[in-house]
Amino acid sequence: MATFAVGDVQGCYRELLDLLDKIGFNSSGDRLWFTGDLVNRGPESLEVLRFVYALGEQSVVVLGNHDLHLLAVAAGCAAPKKKDTLNAVLEAKDRDELLGWLRRRPLLHRDPGLGFTLIHAGLPPQWSVPQAADLATEVQEVLGGDSSREFLQQMYGDQPALWREELRGWDRLRFTINCFTRMRFCDAGGWINIREKGPPGSQPPPYLPWYEVAERASRDERIIFGHWSTIWLGGNRDFAALNVFPLDRGCVWGGELAALRLDDMKSFSVPSRQPKWKKI
């Protein structure tokens, strides 16, 4: 039995099947971890959702920003965006079952046995992984409960931009969700910059890629994440030295879909079938 972490699929169903064929995925024993953003921008979000849902306990999925956007649109809490490709999901007969399952996915998954933590985007330097896990649970309890619609209405926005333990209510939940699903850069003091989306090195001072903050509390834990397709255009690619393992290679933009076998750290990838955008 092997465990594979898979980067952002974003509706690229055929590439997912290509990747599973390449890694020799054994449906009777292997497990798949997904970095989030199962859906949107790619052509077959419904097929991806149905496939991963059918895996049952063989899959682990953490929520990404596009997954949350789908939930918000479906709940009437956000308007569809011009580049969304979510109609097939929204019109599917099994949408309620699929979206109910998606809404109950976590923001963080930690496996002490394998020695890896899975998230979608980033962690501010103040958070240890155990603290991050507790905060992720706070969000999960609200999103998976009776207040989910109100949460989906309140989660949008870039403030607050700095973690404080005394944060409460929607501010606390919004900061948490922004780190887990949108974050790329922050400064050494933990101020996050959500709007910067370029590769490492493109950001204005004093911001750094979140994983490069020297004193971050999570530096001793191995963290797998997605969200950042342009990360591969930055200068520093010795990610393992920083205990981070980025897996978003921009499949939906014409790049690759990547996987990492956690048992022996072997990497795999397949080329995208999507048109190549200048973003990659």
Please report the domains of the chain, with CATH numbers, ordered by start residue: 3-271 (3.60.21.10)
Residue 99 pLDDT > 80: yes
pLDDT at 92: 98
Mean pLDDT over 15-21 rounds to: 98
Among 197, 165, 199, 200, residue whose Cα is nearest residue 182: 197
Residue 278 pLDDT > 90: no
pLDDT at 236: 65
Report pLDDT digits (tens) over 196-244: 999 999 999 999 999 999 999 999 999 999 999 999 887 667 899 999 9
Among 235, 190, 229, 197, residue whose Cα is nearest residue 213: 190
pLDDT band at 280 (very low <50, low <70, confident <90, very high): very low
Report pLDDT digits (tens) over 85-95: 999 999 999 99
Helix (H) or strand (E) holding 171: helix 169-182
Give 192's strand partners. Answer: 186
Assigned token pair, 98: 């699929």
**pTM of the predicted model over 0.85:** yes
How many other C-beta atoms can be found within 10 angstroms of the C-beta atom of residue 233?
14
Opening angle at CA 241, ends 237 and 244, nearest 5: 75
pLDDT at 276: 82
Mean pLDDT over 152-169 rounds to: 97
pLDDT at 28: 87
Burial grade of 98 (CB within 10 A; 0-12, 13-18, 19 or more): buried
Among 15, 87, 21, 23, residue whose Cα is nearest residue 274: 15
CA distance 188 to 126: 10
Residue 279 pLDDT > 80: no
CA distance 229 to 206: 22
